[in-house]
């Protein structure tokens, strides 16, 4: 059982170099040669295992931040605003889907050794137990124990087993009738067609709902297009503009880049699953 609140990723950046075109590329506002560290906690874990080969990869989802200027004294948030979040394996960061599950998009993995140094520190609780009946789940919840959800499902067509572990941040109980429902997130799900024999190149950000031991539902996040009238204020910069150029007359290919898009949770995946609740004393 992972203790997500104490599990972290830390990296050390390469010395910063100014972009030849963009004044605030990456949102960094320091000076040439500066180095900074980043640390964030983990939100969820996902293991993808190919049933025939036995090849498996363990993926993690990091806690998010709103797009920001780093490390600034004022004007900390970027407007227009987006969300920065990282999904990653032990060796690579992985694309988080922007499109619906049946759409294709450019997806890449980026080696973590692009950093000067990094550490993935996953903390586990030694006294954890697995609950597979409603009554002990109800009692553990009311006792304020630490709870994780564990959902395992198979993709029979492609021959994969997917295991998702996540903190139970929201639990609903009907103690009198012995009912429970987990409704929580975020979690990540693999885009299995992007499997290259070792890992996937894209994951979906989702929330999960569980009220039985043999069924789970995931609701996936996607980007949407805002109406033109909404884009007039949504795309209007305040303070520094992430698209500001050193020289307005020298524009890079593809200028201007797209502004952040709003996101919604809409697409539902229903799966036959093997669910359990993991508990540890609080």
**Stated pTM of the model:** 0.94
pLDDT in tens, 55-84: 999 999 999 999 999 989 999 999 999 999
| Domains of the chain: total | 1
Backbone angles phi, psi at 207, to 5 degrees: -115, 160
Residue numbers of the domain that contains 160: 4-280
Share of the chain above pLDDT 90, in %: 95
pLDDT tier, 108 (very low <50, low <70, confident <90, very high otherwise): confident
Distance CA 256, CA 252 (A): 8
Q: What number of other Cβ atoms are within 10 A of residue 15's Cβ?
A: 9
* Whole-angstrom distance, CA of residue 22 vs CA of residue 146: 46
Q: Could you tell me how far CA 79 lies from the centroid of its own chain?
A: 22
* Spatial separation of the C-alpha atoms in residues 1 and 24, rounded to whole Å: 41
What number is the average pLDDT over the span 107-125? 95
Residue the block writes with tokens 């209007």: 236
Query: Residues 100, 106, 109, 113: is their CA dihedral positive or negative?
Result: negative
Asked if residue 199 has pLDDT above 90, the reply is: yes
Q: Average of pLDDT values for 94-115?
A: 92
Average pLDDT over residues 260-267: 96
- Taking residues 186-191, report their average pLDDT: 98
Average pLDDT, the chain: 96
Query: In DSSP terms, which residues pair with 215 in a beta bridge?
Result: 272
Spatial CB neighbours of 58, under 8 Å, sequence gap ≥ 6: 45, 46, 47, 89, 90
CB 47 within 8 A of CB 57: yes
Give dist(CA 236, CA 80) in Å, integer.
6
Q: Percent of the chain, pLDDT > 70?
A: 100
Q: Is the pLDDT of residue 101 over 90?
A: no
19-41 pLDDT, tens digit per residue, is: 999 999 989 999 999 999 999 99
Residue 87, judged by CB atoms within 10 A of its CB (0-12, 13-18, 19+), counts as buried
pLDDT of 104 over the 90 cut:
no
């Amino acid at each position: 059982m992972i203790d997500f609140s104490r599990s972290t990723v830390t990296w050390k950046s390469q010395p910063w170099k100014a972009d030849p075109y963009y004044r605030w590329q990456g949102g960094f506002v320091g000076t040439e040669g500066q180095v900074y560290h980043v640390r964030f906690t983990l939100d969820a874990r996902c293991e993808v295992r190919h049933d025939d080969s036995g090849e498996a990869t363990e993926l993690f989802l990091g806690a998010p931040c709103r797009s920001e200027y780093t490390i600034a004294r004022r004007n900390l948030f970027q407007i227009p605003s987006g969300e920065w979040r990282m999904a990653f394996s032990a060796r690579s960061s992985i694309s988080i889907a922007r499109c619906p599950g049946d759409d294709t998009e450019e997806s890449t993995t980026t080696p973590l050794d692009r950093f000067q140094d990094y550490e993935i520190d996953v903390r586990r609780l030694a006294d954890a137990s697995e609950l597979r009946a409603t009554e002990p789940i109800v009692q553990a919840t009311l006792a304020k124990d630490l709870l994780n959800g564990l959902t395992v499902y198979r993709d029979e067509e492609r021959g994969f087993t997917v295991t998702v572990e996540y903190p139970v941040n929201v639990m609903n109980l009907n103690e009198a009738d012995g009912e429970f429902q987990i409704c929580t997130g975020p979690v990540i799900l693999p885009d299995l067609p992007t499997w290259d024999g070792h890992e996937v190149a894209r994951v979906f950000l989702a929330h999960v709902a569980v009220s039985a031991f043999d069924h789970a539902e995931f609701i996936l996040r996607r980007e949407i297009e805002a109406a033109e009238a909404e884009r007039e204020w949504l795309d209007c910069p305040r303070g520094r503009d992430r698209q500001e150029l050193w020289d307005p007359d020298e524009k890079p290919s593809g200028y201007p880049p797209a502004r952040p898009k709003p996101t919604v949770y809409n697409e539902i995946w229903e799966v036959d699953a093997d669910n359990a609740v993991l508990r540890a004393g609080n």
